[in-house]
Amino acid sequence: MSSVVAELMLAEGALLNGSWWVARWLRADDGRRWTGLIWTCIALAVVGVGVDLALAPKAPTGGAVVVGLTAAVDGLFLLVIGARAARALPARRQLARARKARESGNTAGAADAYGKAASHLGSAWKRVSELKAIAEEGHMRLEAGQAAQAAECFARLGNKAKAYGDVVTEARALRWSGDAAFELGDRQRSRSFYWEAANSGQALASPVLVGHALARLGWMEHIAGDPELARDYFAWAANLDIGEADLRLTGSLMLLAAAFRLAEGRLETARPAAEDGTRVSGQVKDVGQETTGRFLLGCVQYLEGLYESGGQMIEEQSADANGFATLATRLLAGHPILSTVAAHAADPSIRPAYEDLHVEALVHPLPAAPEQASAAV
């Protein structure tokens, strides 16, 4: 084999490595694997090497042609990557604006910024980033109390995910559509979305997707006052044994178990469940879910008669949790002792006089679980 043939084979190998990197970048943009590009370049290299060996020691025309074709293919797709990056530049500014608004608690502003970013990302053919931005817009609109707009976002997300062939995001969009329907007060439609999400997860053989949908069904029925059905959903989700595969789901199931036990007055088991759920939620940095956990812990402490530590926990949560007063009022409505907690959450300047309440009230169970906890699953 001539030295020229060897050099051309090395060049082909280097360009094949470049093709692999190009395919990775393209996949990061639109989610498709782009393995066809790699196999095409490999086939060209095999043909070129075969021609080189067949014609040796003559001029290695096959290798030269392959090197040129591979370089042309890589160059073409690098131009595509460059064009996508250029068209997506405005999206970077909007995403930065969304993060800043989110950190400052301006969820409505964050939602608008995510929506604009999604539009730019879509025009830049960055499908993966576009779907993420639409999902974030929907979540922010839910937090901002714009459930109708959130429902539209998640519907759009599901349609785009289906068109792009992203079945996992499509299943998640169904689950989030259930959240929006629940916030709109349409329990039947919410249940339908959750079941569709569970069925999609089962079709994908994904216990995590199934578990998330079942956990949401559990929260919804618990809040709606059907504890038996809620426990059935919880048991199905818990039997999936998700564990560390999805800590967010595991934390949510722990908090749901704590809510069950708290409603039954089983404080000795409610406390460890709430503590573990709060800890796991903190690990995955789910602020909303962690807030729900701390709130449940505060409730446990009140029921145990630990007024000082419970009051401190309420003050800490009410200072940084949007909608905390609403959550507290719904959770504690009608409870003889914890109704004072709801009043304090609504107006932190009011100091609840826990000591004035009769100790017998401590044994009364809670009537319901936090409504907003369904969106924290």
Look at residue 200 and tell me if it is in a domain: yes
Kindly state the tokens that stand for 305: 């008669």
Q: Give the angle subtended at the CA of 278 by the CAs of 273 and 283, to the nearest 5°.
A: 130
Q: What is the mean pLDDT of residues 268-283?
A: 89
The number of C-alpha atoms within 13 Å of 46 and in the hemisphere containing its C-beta is: 6
> Average pLDDT of the chain?
75
Same domain for 277 and 199:
no
Range of the domain at 185: 108-205
Same domain for 57 and 154:
no
Look at residue 120 and tell me if it is in a domain: yes
Question: What CATH number is associated with residue 112?
Answer: 1.25.40.10
Lowest mean pLDDT among 227-231, 269-273, 349-353: 349-353
Greater model confidence, 1 or 220: 220
Look at residue 246 and tell me if it is in a domain: yes
Same domain for 353 and 241:
yes
Residue 376's contacts (CB-CB under 8 Å, 6 or more residues apart) are 252, 255, 286, 288, 289, 292
Same domain for 292 and 241:
yes
Question: Pseudo-torsion of CA 21, 25, 30, 31, nearest 10°?
Answer: 50
Same domain for 170 and 312:
no
- Indicate the pLDDT class of residue 13, thresholds 50, 70 and 90: low
Same domain for 228 and 377:
yes
pLDDT above 70 covers what percent of the chain?
62
Greater model confidence, 377 or 361: 377
Q: What is the pLDDT of residue 322?
A: 43
Q: What is the pLDDT of residue 14?
A: 60
Q: What is the pLDDT of residue 111?
A: 94
pLDDT of 97 higher than 50: yes
- Indicate the pLDDT class of residue 8, thresholds 50, 70 and 90: low
Same domain for 232 and 201:
no
- Indicate the pLDDT class of residue 309, thresholds 50, 70 and 90: confident
Greater model confidence, 241 or 321: 241
**Distance from C-alpha of 224 to C-alpha of 134, rounded to nearest angstrom:** 29
Kindly state the tokens that stand for 334: 């009608």
**Distance from C-alpha of 263 to C-alpha of 270, rounded to nearest angstrom:** 9
Domain count, the chain: 3
Buried b (16+ CB within 10 A) or exposed e, 102-133: beeebbebbbbbbbbbbbbbbebbbbbbbbbb
Same domain for 179 and 254:
no
pLDDT above 90 covers what percent of the chain?
26
Same domain for 242 and 123:
no
Q: What is the pLDDT of residue 355?
A: 43
Greater model confidence, 135 or 70: 135
Q: What is the pLDDT of residues 160-210, one digit of tens each?
A: 999 888 899 999 999 999 999 988 989 899 999 999 999 999 999 999 999
Same domain for 304 and 377:
yes
Q: What is the pLDDT of residue 151?
A: 96
Q: What is the mean pLDDT of residues 123-137?
A: 88
